[in-house]
Structure 1
Amino acid sequence: MATLKEQVDEAVEEVSKTWTKTTWLTTTTAVPDPDDMGYSDAKVVQATYLYSDLIDSSGLVKAADTHEEVASVMSTFLKVAVRIIRAENGHIRSFDGDRVMGVFTGANRKTRSVRAAMKIEYAVSRLIDPEIQSVFKSLQDAGWHIRAMTGIATSEALLVRAGIRNNSDLLSVGLGPNLAAKLSDLRDTLAGHHIAIGKGTYNGLGESVIMSKGKDMWTGPYSLSMGGGSYNYYTSNYRWTSL
């Protein structure tokens, strides 16, 4: 069996390897499965990325009486977000603590991703929070309410299989995943607006997620600095009214 040093040296040497790139079908809503890709395979996709992040999880830990209460709240948020993303034909490709990443491909991917974000906002504020206040007296007494921030961005991305055998996943490389993550980090800086989307996503939206009763649901554009560049984005404080 190779030593740890030999294994690390082998991994480092792979930095110069050549990727076998193919273009994923732009008409399908599917996303490649890691198990169907080799470790030198790469897929070029046109995709919209959604990051939904629980706000003030540190405040949750401080307010809750037990770790079990914290786990229940986080687990419920992630379960609900996953179900909503999948219902809009999005694919779950990553969890990071209290944040979930969804990938949308195919027709209407921008509209579907934004509709998912608005449904997540509805579920968090109208379904999960009332239940939390009812079940956990500690959170009610502390005045802690569950909130989420969702960032969405669209770009061409390169999907590669990362990790080692029996412990691998897809790695997304491109502006879309980076910008979506950055937008989800804006959190409380948006004065009650809990959805932020890049300009490229906004420009491709369907009417159902742009206008509500004749009023534009979005404000902007605003400017965000990232990696030496500047990117425009829009925000909204609207939510879907049902699931």
Structure 2
Amino acid sequence: MSLVDFLKQIDEDVRNVLSDDFEIEITNTQFVPSFSDPFITYDNLTERIKKCKLLKSCVLYIDIRNSAKISVDNEADRLAKMYSAFVKNMISAARYYNGHIRNIIGDRIMVVFDRKDCFKNAFNTAILMNSISQHIIAKNITGIDFSCGIGIDFGEMLIVKTGAIRRGAETEFYRGLVWLGRPANVASRLTDLANKSFSKIKHRVHKASADNPTSTSEWIWQEMSASKFLDQLEHKYPNKIVSVDPRHANFFQTKYKKYWSYKPILMTADFYRGLAKECPDNKSIKNGWITKNARTIPEYDDYLYEADVVFTNSQNL
């Protein structure tokens, strides 16, 4: 087949799938579907239908902190042992609290939970994974600063089968379930942030104002952002910049480094509220071990909550 014919075929396929008479059939579910679920199908261009499922539940991601640097700094056999220990035992932790593994990409593991008891199971899974990470794997891996980050969210996810039907040894590489919706994206983003520290250079301007700008004794100082200060300036012909504030007297600029960090378990307000409602007697809630983080992220327009909780006995292993 020529390249031109191939592109014509692709164009026809895209138009068929996007046409108004191609039906998307969505089935609501309370359970985490598998790839073989008959109500999740590939594009059927003959019957012009694609079947998907909609699940409202909790999703959790976990991955290793600084994995890129760890990969560069360590030998292949050492890395293979570390990743094997991590993936195998995090899968076991997820299954212990009825979680379903639905994706493993490198050192990132995706866990989805059936709707029933999803808040309790997801949070217990996070605590168990945090316990294993801090007090078992990290203790047994010498010479590597091993730690993990965990992100959790709750909400609706559309499950779609994607890929192509192929036979033979490479079948699994050409197919997969895609989890569409905010929870999967936000939980993954929280995993990127969890158990990390950040810093940023902040620029501030200190501006003096007075009714009589020439009298330093009357100056009143105000701190503001650099952008706000720049908004008060205008260009005068030919090469002069002046303040539009008639009370402007003087200014100077300062800069400082702002630091912030996130705990190992990071969750959305939707998940936290669901956990508090479903498990009001949860020790982490009653004892204040879950705290609100004042920072926000672009992907989520509500508060974040964080925790660093482990099972007590895990510290004594």
Secondary structure at the aligned position of 1:216 is classed as coil
Report % sequence identity: 24
- Counterpart of 1:236, as a letter, is A
Secondary structure at the aligned position of 2:33 is classed as coil
Q: Match of 2:118? A: 109
Secondary structure at the aligned position of 1:102 is classed as strand
Question: 1:117, CA displacement in angstroms?
Answer: 0.8
Q: Which moved more, 1:167-176 or 1:50-59?
A: 167-176
Secondary structure at the aligned position of 1:182 is classed as helix
For the 8 Å contact 2:193–2:262, the answer to whether it is kept is: no
- CA 1:61–1:162 in structure 2 vs 1: closer, same or farther (change >3 Å)? same
Alignment length, in residue pairs? 227
Structure with more contact order per residue of length (Cα contacts < 8 Å, sep ≥ 6): 1
Q: Pairwise CA RMSD of aligned residues?
A: 2.3
Task: Report the TM-score when normalising by structure 1.
Answer: 0.84
Secondary structure at the aligned position of 2:23 is classed as coil
Are 1:218 and 2:290 an aligned pair?
Answer: yes
Question: 1:207, CA displacement in angstroms?
Answer: 4.2
Q: Which moved more, 1:199-208 or 1:83-92?
A: 199-208
Question: 1:241, CA displacement in angstroms?
Answer: 2.9
Runs of 4+ in 1 over 2 A off after TM superposition: 1-18, 189-192, 207-212, 221-227, 240-243
Are 1:162 and 2:162 an aligned pair?
Answer: yes
> Larger % of helix: which?
1
- For 1:241 and 1:61, how far apart are their aligned partners in 2? 31
Aligned with residue 12 of structure 1, among 11, 14, 17: 14
Please tell me whether Structure 1 or Structure 2 has the larger radius of gyration of its CA atoms.
2
- Counterpart of 2:309, as a letter, is Y
- Counterpart of 1:180, as a letter, is A
- CA 1:67–1:209 in structure 2 vs 1: closer, same or farther (change >3 Å)? farther
Aligned with residue 23 of structure 1, among 20, 28, 31: 28
Are 1:58 and 2:68 an aligned pair?
Answer: yes
Deviations 1:28-72 (A, max 9, x none): xx31122222221111111101010110112212331x1121122
Are 1:67 and 2:66 an aligned pair?
Answer: no
Question: 1:8, CA displacement in angstroms?
Answer: 3.7
Are 1:196 and 2:266 an aligned pair?
Answer: yes
For the 8 Å contact 1:115–1:209, the answer to whether it is kept is: no
Identify unmatched segments of 5+ residues in structure 1.
Answer: 134-139
Identify unmatched segments of 5+ residues in structure 2.
Answer: 43-49, 166-170, 198-259
Q: Match of 2:190? A: 183
